[in-house]
Amino acid sequence: MKRFTRTLLVACVAAGVFVTAAAALRFTDESYFTPEGVVEQSYSHQFNGDGGCGPTLPYQYKVINGALPPGLSLSSSGLVSGKPTQAGLFSFWVELSDEDPPSQSWCLPKTAQREFTINVIPRLLVTDQVPGAGTVGAAYSLGLVAVVKSGPEATSPPSSPVTWSVQSGQLPPGLALGADGVLSGTPTTEGSYSFIVLAVLDPKRSDTKGHTIVVRTPVAITAPPSSRPEVGVPFRLPLSAGGGTGTYTWSLSSGALPPGVALGADGTISGTPRTAGTFRFTATATDAESRTANYPATLNVASRLAIATRLLRLAKVGHLYRMKLRASGGVLPKTWKVTNGPLPRGIHLDRKLGVLSGTPTRPGTYRMTFEVRDGLQVASTKTLKLVVIA
């Protein structure tokens, strides 16, 4: 309620003197209720006075005990303003005075004091996060995080749920932001998408943060056709990655390569296998944005090529003869030939099948050196004896 100054005019006609009697100095009712503050948000509250020598002469205000919240200040005209930096309950005494020293002889300075309290609550803060790149067709998930900040270095989880929404911009097609702050889905279109999220804790506390998500085409690994590896034969399989960004990092994410074979930093699988067998593995390429592609493969390492036939059956003049030479190991196709010594007359060697056949015409003992060569051009030789009887 506003008090009006009442003045008593005392006329001393004989002396020609006029004296003014002023009402008591006080804070107005609206000054009593200081609004709640929020850390790092602008704050403003005006103290007002009544009575005394004002408002003809200006009122003056100052803090005489206690302290304002850090970040706020009180002007001489009674305005509390600034941005509080610390949460808490802060009590302080303010002195209200007339113009002091007075500029008018008719006014005797007066003062009034009152205690005030300002409650500063923590602000809501969306933390800085750098969303990873997405990949078309691959599941994506990012949990946004908000904390309450009660001081320059003091943060903690909110005591009640935060509600999230997209304030502006566009999410990548296929992604959606849940009210719980989880951004998830499967991107469908490559491109760069910028948007601003809004987090709300209560009517007084909210925060926004801008994000950009880049969606790229999938990282893929290709490899040229490769022959079957063989023990003791140098092997090379260059893998190539595409669709990603920057330099790729290669690793063996599962399984094992044959002993003697390794995966290089450039994605090349190479070496000389030392052991025959079946080896299953997965090679992984990771780009500069931590996106990956996998290349599952199986290497069937053949044993070293060798002629397995130890003896040739007897042949008889005038009788049909047929015998198949056998080779172990190696890779297809295999071809045969005689490198030393003539075959008996009437006997021929099938170079593709390794079969000796025909009807011998002369008896005798024939020593021949056979060579078999496989698809890797690995060769094996053996000298065998064919006896033709009459």
pLDDT at 107: 66
Q: Higher-confidence residue: 189 or 159?
A: 189
Nearest-5° Cα angle at 45, 39 to 50: 155
Class level of CATH domain 220-301: mainly beta
DSSP for 231-278, please give it.
Answer: TTS-EEEE-EEESS-S--EEEEEEE-PPTTEEE-TTSEEEE---S-EE
pLDDT at 105: 62
> Is there a common fold for 125-216 and 306-389?
yes
Angstrom distances, CA of residue 60 to CA of 25, 106, 112: 12, 18, 11
Residue type, 123: R
- Tens of pLDDT, residues 27-55: 998 888 999 999 999 999 999 998 877 66
Residue pair 335/367 in contact by the 8 Å Cβ criterion: no
Q: Which of 131, 49, 55 is nearest to 94 (CA)?
A: 49
Nearest-5° Cα angle at 308, 303 to 310: 155
Say what the pTM is.
0.62
Place of tokens 């010594």: 341
Q: Is the pLDDT of residue 103 over 90?
A: no
Q: Is the pLDDT of residue 192 over 60?
A: yes
Residue pair 135/146 in contact by the 8 Å Cβ criterion: no
* β-pair partners for 114: 94
Enter the tokens of residue 114: 């009152």
Mean pLDDT, the chain, as a whole number? Answer: 91
pLDDT at 98: 81
Annotation: CATH topology of 125-216: Immunoglobulin-like (2.60.40)
Angstrom distances, CA of residue 43 to CA of 72, 93, 149: 8, 19, 16
- Tens of pLDDT, residues 105-131: 666 678 899 999 999 999 999 999 999
What confidence category does residue 22 fall into, taking pLDDT thresholds of 50, 70 and 90?
Answer: low
Q: Is the pLDDT of residue 102 over 60?
A: no
Rounded Cα–Cα distance for residues 258 and 235 (Å): 11
pLDDT at 286: 96
Enter the tokens of residue 221: 């690994």
Give per-residue burial for 368-387: e unless 16+ CB within 10 Å, then b. bebebbbbbebebebebebe
* β-pair partners for 383: 369
26-121 CATH: 2.60.40.10
Enter the tokens of residue 274: 């030392």
Angstrom distances, CA of residue 331 to CA of 220, 272, 327, 373: 30, 15, 10, 9
Say which residues have a Cβ less than 8 Å from residue 148's Cβ, sequence separation at least 6.
Answer: 122, 123, 124, 125, 155, 156, 157, 158, 159, 201, 205
Domain boundaries, the chain: 26-121, 125-216, 220-301, 306-389
Annotation: CATH topology of 306-389: Immunoglobulin-like (2.60.40)
pLDDT at 234: 96
pLDDT at 230: 96
Sign of the Cα pseudo-torsion (161, 167, 171, 173, in order): positive
Average pLDDT over residues 63-69: 97
